[in-house]
Amino acid sequence: MTDLQILATYPFLHGAKQFVQQEGATVHELLTDPLFEVARTNALGRVENVIDHHDVGNRVMTSDADRIMELFSYPVARMITVCVNDDFFTRRYALGEAVHMYKNLLKESLDFVIDIAKEFQLDIMLNEDQPLLYFTDYLTFAPTRYKKWKMINRTLNKGYVILPKKDLIRILQEVLRKRIHQELSNRSPHKEALHVFSDEIARIRNQVQLKRKDQETIPVGKLNISYLPPCLKHILGLIQSGENVTHMGRFALVAFLNSLRLSTDEILELFSTAPDFDAEKTRYQIEHILGKTGATSYKAPGCDKLKTYGLCPSEEIDEICKKTYHPTSYYRYKWKKEKQTKKK
């Protein structure tokens, strides 16, 4: 793929990386040369747009010069993201790039989408204009927490899952999101980038901290997020940063919120930033756990069960965790402690 429009639109492709390398620009030139000033401006546009929107945004590309600057903005944006050094923001950025790809791929031909899937090293094939994805890749990347995506609701052909084009593109979104997050999480901040974008990085960090503070400290209904134990705070943080969370993780959070007597609408609000958010479907799932659509109202799982399902972030366990055996006990302990502090 050598078309500049394609490379600028999908800068994560191997062909885009080859183009950047062939141009021979050094990192120093990308960060300081006036020739790449537009690329640096576009890079900031990419990273700043993901703070409030799950998308890196669009920029005008009416000439080859515009397309080249947009293409070069991608590696610079990645450097800036690493320099911000905040996993919440890294996740948001990775999701922003992935969502941007998703929206663009919806406009492309099926053959082009298949080419992207193959470049992502997915086991994909085409049968009578119908994409087929091998079931192991499907289970790895499909959002199977939703009824539509569960294997029982899919058609299998010799181990391959038959998919509509739109669903294949959604899976590619998850592949790219995970790939970018993993790549950037394993990198150290570039010293020159830290210097060149010092003011911008400080501003972005401040914006991210304010957003996280808003999400963590503002009470939602009867809930004060600052009282949450590390396990549930971690799950909620993943949801709010755009991460896909397992069914058990969502169940644990909803059941816990139900124990605090939050309403369906209050719980629904906390899930509104999640990828694939569907208010009607999410409401149904919440009401099922709350017992409004069935005979059973599920209780919040305790610490042992959370550990069994890998939902206990052992590295974040604090002294209160060691004194309690259930998330509700943790929450109640912190509530009482703050109440006693205010009386003094």
268-290 per-position pLDDT tens digit: 887 776 766 778 888 888 888 87
For the ranges 3-7, 296-300, 326-330, which has the lowest average pLDDT? 296-300
Residue range 172-192, pLDDT digits in tens = 999 999 999 999 998 999 999
Instruction: In whole angstroms, give the CA distance from residue 45 to residue 223.
Output: 35
Query: Can you give the pLDDT at residue 240?
Result: 73
Phi-psi region of 129 (alpha: psi -120 to 50; beta: other; left: phi over 0): left
Nearest to 254 by CA among 74, 73, 274, 41: 274
Phi/psi region, residue 229 (left: phi>0; alpha: psi -120 to 50; beta: rest), is beta
- Boundaries of every domain in the chain: 4-85+189-206, 110-177, 221-343
Per-residue model confidence (pLDDT) at position 9: 96
Of the candidates 243, 192, 196, which has an alpha carbon nearest to the alpha carbon of residue 44? 196
Give the pLDDT of residue 275: 65
Alpha helix stretches (DSSP H) within 247-309: 247-259, 264-270, 279-290, 303-308
| Other Cβ atoms within 10 Å of 109 Cβ, number | 10
* pLDDT score for 295: 60
The one-letter code for the residue type at 49 is: N
* Mean pLDDT, range 33-45, rounded to an integer: 96
* pLDDT bucket at 211, cuts 50 / 70 / 90: confident
Q: What is the mean pLDDT of residues 306-318?
A: 83
The pair of structure tokens assigned to 74 is 């991608």
For the stretch 132-173, pLDDT in tens is 999 999 999 988 767 788 889 999 999 999 999 999 999 999
pLDDT tops 70 at residue 215: no
- pTM for the predicted model, two decimal places: 0.71
Residue pair 132/157 in contact by the 8 Å Cβ criterion: yes
DSSP, collapsed to helix, strand or coil, labels residue 214 as helix
Residue 218 reports pLDDT greater than 60: no
Enter the DSSP assignment of 151.
G
Residue pLDDT, tens place only, 47-67 = 999 987 889 999 989 999 999
The rounded distance, in Å, linking the Cα atoms of 20 and 28 is 14
pLDDT exceeds 80 at position 221: no
Res. 247: pLDDT tops 60: yes
Higher-confidence residue: 135 or 338? 135
DSSP 8-state code for residue 263: -
Distance CA 46, CA 78 (A): 9
Average pLDDT taken over every residue of the chain: 87
pLDDT band at 222 (very low <50, low <70, confident <90, very high): low
Q: Angle at Cα 259 formed by Cα 328 and Cα 149, nearest 5°?
A: 105
At 98-125, the pLDDT tens digits run: 999 999 999 999 999 999 999 999 999 9
Q: What is the pLDDT of residue 264?
A: 86
> Across the chain, how many H-helices and E-strands are there?
18, 4
Average of per-residue pLDDT across 72-90: 95
What residue type is assigned to position 224 of the chain? N
Is the pLDDT at 291 greater than 80? The verdict is no
Quote the tokens at residue 141: 């990347």
3-state secondary structure of 133: strand
Mean pLDDT of the 29-49 span: 95
* pLDDT for the residue 219: 47
